[in-house]
Structure 1
Amino acid sequence: MKKEEVPQDSSNLSKSNLKELCYATDENGNYITALSSGWEPKTIALQNSIEDINERIEQAKSDVASGLASPIVYFMELHKMDWTTLAGYVGMWVWRVKRHAKPSVFQKLNDKILGKYAEAFEISVSDLKKYKGN
């Protein structure tokens, strides 16, 4: 694309003043770099991703409130982690972290293990223990 054709989408996602480096051609056909604030398809994709993440957070919150999941699930979603990522942060096997997502198992965890989760989520052990999905 030519330098003057580099997309500059003025959506609400571009208000952060972040620019993306793109390659374009100048009037002589030489490749140059140009800054882009984004384009509509990318904005739509990002907005859809954000909506999906927010839905997953709300579902996790609801699951904790109804006793279907432990607070670990909510904070994992809130911090945009998956099981593998969380397991890496706390230094445990994925199957073990998934097991801790069960409320009955979570209630029996000691403060040392809960401390690993709290550190990963950047909260206190007390906040992790008392979260009820409210």
Structure 2
Amino acid sequence: MKKEDLPQDPGALDQFTREVVYVKNEDGKYETALSRGWDVKKDALDGAWVDVNQRIEDARKAVALGEKSPVHYFMELRLMDIPVLSGYTGFWGFFIKRHMKPGVFKNLSDKKLAKYAKAFDISVEELRNFKG
């Protein structure tokens, strides 16, 4: 893309940051330039956030209906998946899946709940008492 064609559409982070991109200057050589944003990229990211927020809401409803434990909700809220949560807690993915079952979750020790709470940056009480 030529430097003069660099989009400068206001984005979600327009007031906080700029994006560094490579452009061709008048001599045809690449250099870096700052862009405020690009509407196409903004629309794609907005669509992705709609999907993320829907997953979080679905997780909240699953907890409220007693189908899943709070581990599932907070994992979605913090944009984690099982391998990431496993890395933070040290639990194998198999056990995390089991801990997402309400019957298993209610019997977890304080030590295990503390590992989840630390990973989610909440208190053990918030985790234990979350009802959706």
- TM-score of the superposition, structure 1-length normalised? 0.93
2:14–2:37: 8 Å Cα contact kept in structure 1?
no
Task: Give the residue type in structure 2 aligned to 1:6.
Answer: L
| Partner of residue 18, structure 2 | 19
| Partner of residue 6, structure 2 | 6
Task: Give the residue type in structure 1 aligned to 2:65.
Answer: S
Q: Secondary structure at the match of 1:34?
A: strand
2:47 is equivalent to residue 48 of structure 1: yes
2:75 is equivalent to residue 85 of structure 1: no
| Partner of residue 117, structure 2 | 118
User: What's the CA shift for 1:38?
Assistant: 2.0
The one-character-per-residue Cα deviations of 1:32-60 (angstroms, maximum 9, x if unpaired) are 21111221221111101111110000000
User: What's the CA shift for 1:30?
Assistant: 2.2
- Structure 1 CA distance for aligned equivalents of residues 13 and 116 of structure 2: 34
- Structure 2 CA distance for aligned equivalents of residues 82 and 23 of structure 1: 32
User: What's the CA shift for 1:75?
Assistant: 0.5
2:70–2:130: 8 Å Cα contact kept in structure 1?
yes
User: What's the CA shift for 1:87?
Assistant: 1.1
- Identity, % of aligned pairs? 50
Aligned residue pairs total 132
User: What's the CA shift for 1:27?
Assistant: 1.8
| Partner of residue 64, structure 1 | 63
1:71–1:101: 8 Å Cα contact kept in structure 2?
yes
| Partner of residue 103, structure 2 | 104
**CA distance 1:122–1:14, shift in 2 (3 Å):** closer
RMSD: 1.1
Task: Give the residue type in structure 2 aligned to 1:5.
Answer: D
1:19–1:35: 8 Å Cα contact kept in structure 2?
yes
The one-character-per-residue Cα deviations of 1:10-41 (angstroms, maximum 9, x if unpaired) are 24x14343211111122222222111122122
**Please, which runs of 5 or more residues in structure 2 have no aligned partner?**
none
**Please, which runs of 5 or more residues in structure 1 have no aligned partner?**
none
